[in-house]
Amino acid sequence: MIESVYFELREQGALNSIKRQKVRRSNFTKRKNSPRIPFIIYIYWNLKSNQLNLQKI
């Protein structure tokens, strides 16, 4: 009886950790993909402003 309850709890814990890992992974991919577009815009903006600054000189 106690062993089966313990086993169920352990299974539940394993499931919870798997869920947590999935959530963490999805958050990581979201974080990894989302800054890309602003970053490209940022680089583009820097290049543009550098060109303007060079033209001023």
SS (H, E, C) 1-57: CHHHHHHHHHHHHHHHHHHHHHHHHHHHHHHHHCCHHHHHHHHHHHHHHHHHHHHHC
Distances (CA, A) of 39 to 25, 27, 31: 22, 19, 13
For the chain, the residue count is 57
Residue 6: the pLDDT is: 67
Residue 57 has pLDDT above 60, yes or no: no
- Supply the range of the domain harboring residue 10: 2-56
pTM of the model as a whole: 0.30
Residue 23: the pLDDT is: 67
Residue 37: the pLDDT is: 66
- Give the model confidence (pLDDT) of 18-39 as tens digits: 677 666 666 666 666 555 667 7
- Give the model confidence (pLDDT) of 38-53 as tens digits: 777 788 888 888 877 7
For the chain, the domain total comes to 1
